[in-house]
Structure 1
């Protein structure tokens, strides 16, 4: 979650109108913004889907759409070639922007620093996937070069210091150095100018001389990182937000190798809506012209042809992945309260699904063992599912039209997501015993080539955990929930041979049917997730047991 707090007068000034708190509450509710009103202050809590809202300007722009107000924004995007060379490094992807501010930076210096921090943390994953540097453009001597440099040659005045510091002094003596030094490779990366002066050492810290002040009129912004899609996403968000306070240009660079070019583009995926497709979701008729008017107010490009509407989302909207996302925007503008209710033509008696009682029984057994139930996201990425678990990445459902490197596939196994959760909660008390009854996506069995399948994943993390303990829980689940008492084990095959400690990993069988796997996690996997205590896991194919055994 991202928290944005602004004085009411500050937002009113951007909107150019005096808006009362009641209107702010109404509009916020309409557009899914969680608003808490304080004394002369608006506290907004934003969900992860609107990562483009990172400043008072982009926030005000959303509010303006609901209040039928237009905010000035320079949508013209320039292209410049001042002389920038990008060499191959371990953070290979780089985009650069130039912002000519309408006015001196002034008090907005605080706003852009907060915007940088929000993006570095939430989208850039604490600078690991992408990091932002902001400089005074007029203090830079072009051409500039992005390259690796020997650590012994690092000697410059870092941000906030007048005296020069060596590489060791920066990474071991400065707060930012200590916080982010784990992101560095064998040698640091630097930006250097035509005089061979160091401008910055990304993703750690910038040079003090090239830093921005309240008097700054022109900004140079670099976005560097390890993931091209994340670097491009951050660039789009920055470009959008800075359009409210200046003219933005994209700076072209010479990339020494084509594979390190992030291929930045403002093109977005195009959709076609129809009056019928909108009605099928909302349950009421909305004319093509009305849909077009609504979407234009939200910065969509639209073209009406009879009852069809060709739609192109704004380049900065990372959350638009499907027609339904666009229809959701239409619904928010109309207002849920204004969509008429419809009496159903027929009535049916509801009932529990076939697996309801078995699933509930499993949960009761797990809770009885002191395990905490976790709901996980079905969508994940190859790194967590395969890379960090040392499983061969094959036979899985990948996603199309990707908006983020964080979400690229549907889960094939549940346990990697539970390991990920533990790694994010190392500050909590141990032991940590958790389970999840969730769907994974498996190949085969339907016209689209994939099926949802229910799995039970059990993960125990403590200093004394072992696979025997986990297997005893599995036997209890099978006995109480399915009256199955003939569980057999066999040492894991090749697929999980690197995931579990040799001799401590098993495939699980009922008769000749494989119904899951269990084992003690190998230290190499624990290291991937930054976990120091031993972990034992089991994953049971509940869907197969319910419908096939």
Structure 2
């Protein structure tokens, strides 16, 4: 709560302001109070507001703020200066501008500019909180010159674009799944250990952790698709059945042998939830997918691990490599997600399919 020297309430941030500080057409003096968790962002916000009032004819006065043992005056119009070289501007814009023309363009955008040989020292106005990189100043040069003065240039090389192999694969599978009556969903790659492992009845395995998660809901990167789909079913458990959904999305696995320390894999996940859901149903979906991908000679082996019912699940192998698994979800897992309908599911690693097809092609 913020009070004045007479202990009258001015504001109860971030809930409501006091009627004592209510504005009207007769208001002449305005006290601007900003609360937040980041001092730099608060100062920038204050600068934008006060310069806007100043531009409308108002007079801005500073206030002394004592906080955390420190004293400061706000608003503080001291902003960061930037150094850019004229050849950098010309290189980015593809022009050959004289330094005087660059200075004129920047001043048109209300920057103060000092020239030191071929280097420009640019002082942005205090309300330009969007200047975060030298490229932003290059953009201002282009705006100051007017985009219409920039002449289009024919590329020196002729290239033809094409769809990424992953995109082609996704489109084939998407058409198949929609034709089978499934609805596509899109989930976050971020998840948490409880949903990824505990609610699926499996032991934790290596995964990428978020260093400073902002929420307990998003602490790791997912390593498989099915938990996300089970969460979708859980959210919609009071909706009409049957519910058939699928997702084609990324999963992330730790990998010490690459510079990023993690690798991305593309996977397909699908679930079918209704009173007659069974292994036979999800197996027919798998067969249709592989048929459309022109994959034959695959093998099915028993998969007696959670989250499936033992004896009602299988692992899919092709060319000696595991493509994924499918089966009926165990009742214990359904209970953890608050589901009452029988549910069958599958997950296929599309990246492995791409790798095998590439090996065959070569």
2:268 is matched with which residue? 456
Alignment map for 1:123-522 (pairs within 5 Å): 289-290=123-124, 294-295=128-129, 346=155, 348-444=159-255, 446-481=258-293, 483-492=294-303, 497-522=305-330
- Does the aligned pair in 2 maintain the 1:462–1:533 contact within 8 Å? yes
2:23 is matched with which residue? 13
- Does the aligned pair in 2 maintain the 1:475–1:487 contact within 8 Å? no
SS in 1 for 2:351: helix
Counterpart selection for 1:536 from 326, 344, 348: 344
| Aligned-pair CA distance for 1:548 | 2.9
Distance in 2 (alpha carbons) for counterparts of 1:339 and 1:392: 61
Distance in 1 (alpha carbons) for counterparts of 2:276 and 2:261: 42
Could you tell me which runs of 5 or more consecutive residues in structure 2 were left unpaired when the two chains were aligned: 1-15, 29-35, 54-59, 70-79, 94-105, 112-120, 358-362
Describe the shift of the 1:66–1:416 C-alpha distance in structure 2 as closer, same or farther (beyond 3 A): farther
Distance in 2 (alpha carbons) for counterparts of 1:273 and 1:430: 61
Larger Rg: 2
Q: Which has the higher contact order (CA 8 A, sep 6+)?
A: 1
The 10-residue stretch of structure 1 (380-389 or 412-421) with the greater mean CA deviation from structure 2: 380-389
Distance in 2 (alpha carbons) for counterparts of 1:415 and 1:395: 17
- Does the aligned pair in 1 maintain the 2:47–2:127 contact within 8 Å? no
- Does the aligned pair in 2 maintain the 1:15–1:64 contact within 8 Å? no
Distance in 2 (alpha carbons) for counterparts of 1:357 and 1:391: 33
1:260 is matched with which residue? none
Distance in 2 (alpha carbons) for counterparts of 1:461 and 1:486: 29
- Does the aligned pair in 2 maintain the 1:395–1:443 contact within 8 Å? yes
Distance in 2 (alpha carbons) for counterparts of 1:353 and 1:501: 37
Q: TM-score, normalised by structure 2?
A: 0.60
Distance in 1 (alpha carbons) for counterparts of 2:301 and 2:50: 61
- Does the aligned pair in 1 maintain the 2:251–2:265 contact within 8 Å? yes
Distance in 2 (alpha carbons) for counterparts of 1:360 and 1:353: 11
1:523 is matched with which residue? 331
Distance in 1 (alpha carbons) for counterparts of 2:169 and 2:25: 55
| Aligned-pair CA distance for 1:275 | 7.2
Distance in 2 (alpha carbons) for counterparts of 1:387 and 1:532: 19
Query: After superposition, what is the alpha-carbon deviation per residue over 1:100-140, rounded to whole angstroms, capped at 9, x for unaligned?
Result: xxxxxxxxxxxxxxxxxxxxxxxxxxxxxxxxxxxxxxxxx
| Aligned-pair CA distance for 1:396 | 1.1
Could you tell me which runs of 5 or more consecutive residues in structure 1 were left unpaired when the two chains were aligned: 1-5, 19-51, 80-271, 299-308, 310-325
Query: After superposition, what is the alpha-carbon deviation per residue over 1:40-90, rounded to whole angstroms, capped at 9, x for unaligned?
Result: xxxxxxxxxxxx89xxxx9xx7997598469x99986789xxxxxxxxxxx
| Aligned-pair CA distance for 1:446 | 2.7
Total equivalences in the alignment: 267
Distance in 2 (alpha carbons) for counterparts of 1:472 and 1:522: 20
| Aligned-pair CA distance for 1:391 | 2.0
Query: After superposition, what is the alpha-carbon deviation per residue over 1:124-183, rounded to whole angstroms, capped at 9, x for unaligned?
Result: xxxxxxxxxxxxxxxxxxxxxxxxxxxxxxxxxxxxxxxxxxxxxxxxxxxxxxxxxxxx
Describe the shift of the 1:402–1:491 C-alpha distance in structure 2 as closer, same or farther (beyond 3 A): same
| Aligned-pair CA distance for 1:393 | 1.6
Distance in 2 (alpha carbons) for counterparts of 1:524 and 1:13: 60
| Aligned-pair CA distance for 1:540 | 0.3
Query: After superposition, what is the alpha-carbon deviation per residue over 1:422-447, rounded to whole angstroms, capped at 9, x for unaligned?
Result: 11122321111001111111233632
SS in 2 for 1:485: coil
Q: TM-score, normalised by structure 1?
A: 0.41
The alignment's C-alpha RMSD in Å is 4.5
Distance in 2 (alpha carbons) for counterparts of 1:369 and 1:471: 13
2:9 is matched with which residue? none
Distance in 1 (alpha carbons) for counterparts of 2:184 and 2:165: 21
